[in-house]
Amino acid sequence: MNGQDARLIVNFAPTGMIPTREMTPHVPLSAAEIVEDIHQAVEVGITMVHIHARDEATGEPTHKAETYERIIRGVRRFAPDLIIAVSLSGRTFQEFEKRAAPLRLDGGAKPDMGSLTLSSVNFNRQASVNSPDMIQRLALEMRDRGILPELEAFDAGRINYARYLDARGLLVAPHYFNLLLGNIACAQADLLHVGVMIRDLPPGSYWSLAGIGDAQLTMNSVAIAMGGGVRVGLEDQIWYDRGRARLARNVDLLRRIHALAESNERQVMSPAELRTLLDLEPGNGAYGRRSSHTTHTDGTGHPG
C-alpha cells in the first residue's frame, strides 16, 4: 500500500500490558471485559483487533492459551470474520514456549496473526527483549502454523531487519506493519521519521501508524491524511486530550477516528477486504493464512 488508499485499516488495541485499573477505570482486563470492548468497537467499525490477555485474578499480563481462547471464541460469536492478532510480547515473558503459547490454538480459536516485534525495545521503565534467535523462532513458528506476523517496527532499523527475514524466507509477503512512533528510545512522531520508515518497507507491505502516549492522535491523523491505516486504543494512550484532563474510553477513541476518516473522505476497510489483501482465510470458521502459505522446514529455519 504505497500512497493514497480509499479504505482505512483500523487496528484496535484495547488493553496492552501497561494500563491498570488504578491508572484508568476504562481499561478492559478480564476476558469478558475485553470481549465487550471489542463488541462495542465492531459496532463502531474496525478492521482488526490486537489482543493482549490478562490474568483473571490479578489483572497482570498472561501468556496462557486458554485465556486467549476465551477472548477469541467470545469475539467470534458476534464477529466471525474479524481479523484477530494475538500478542507475543517480550516485555514480560522471555521463554519461547510461553511467548508462542497463543499460536498453538487451532480451529475456531486459531488467531489470524501474531505480533512480532523486530528488535529489543527500551520503554520508559522497562525493556521488551527480542533477541534475533527469538524473533526468528517466532517467525518460523508462525510461518509453519499458517499465521501472519503482525510486524511491529519502532524505527527504520527494524524495517531493515524485516527485509532481512523476508530475504531468508522467514517472512512471506504480503506483510502487515504497525509503525509505532513516539517511544522515548525509538523513532519520534516526526514526519521525516514516518516517511523514511514507509519508504523502506519491503514490497507487498500494508501499514498502520501508531503513536505512543500523546503522539497517538498526531500519528493517527497523519496516517488518515496520507492514505495509511491506524492503530488506536488504550494500549497506546489512556487520555483523550493532550492536557490529560479526560480519561478516554476505547469507544471514544474509535469514534474520533471515524470522524477524522469522514473528514478525509475515507471509509473504514472491512475485515473481509483486508483478509483478501493479506491473503488470509475468509473467516467464518477458517482462520490464519491461506494454506498455500504454510511451509514446512528442514529444521534449520530454511524451507525444506
Instruction: Please report the DSSP string for 177-240 in residue order.
Output: EEEEE--TTS--S-HHHHHHHHHTPPSSEEEEEEE-TTHHHHHHHHHHHHT-EEEESTTT--BS
Taken in order of first residue, the domains within the chain and their CATH numbers are 7-293 (3.20.20.70)
Q: Which residues contact 201 (CB under 8 A, 6 or more apart)?
A: 159, 175, 177, 207
From residue 278, how far is each of 225, 226, 271, 293 by CA, in Å?
A: 22, 20, 10, 11
C-alpha cell at 185: 528510545
- pLDDT of 294: 52
pLDDT in tens, the chain (304 residues): 544 468 999 999 999 999 999 999 999 999 999 999 999 999 999 999 999 999 999 999 999 999 999 999 999 999 999 999 999 987 788 899 999 999 999 999 999 999 999 988 877 777 788 899 999 999 999 999 999 999 999 999 999 999 999 999 999 999 999 999 999 888 899 999 999 999 999 999 999 999 999 999 999 999 999 999 999 999 999 999 999 999 999 999 999 999 999 999 999 999 999 999 999 999 999 999 997 555 443 333 333 2
- pLDDT of 297: 39
pTM for the whole structure: 0.93
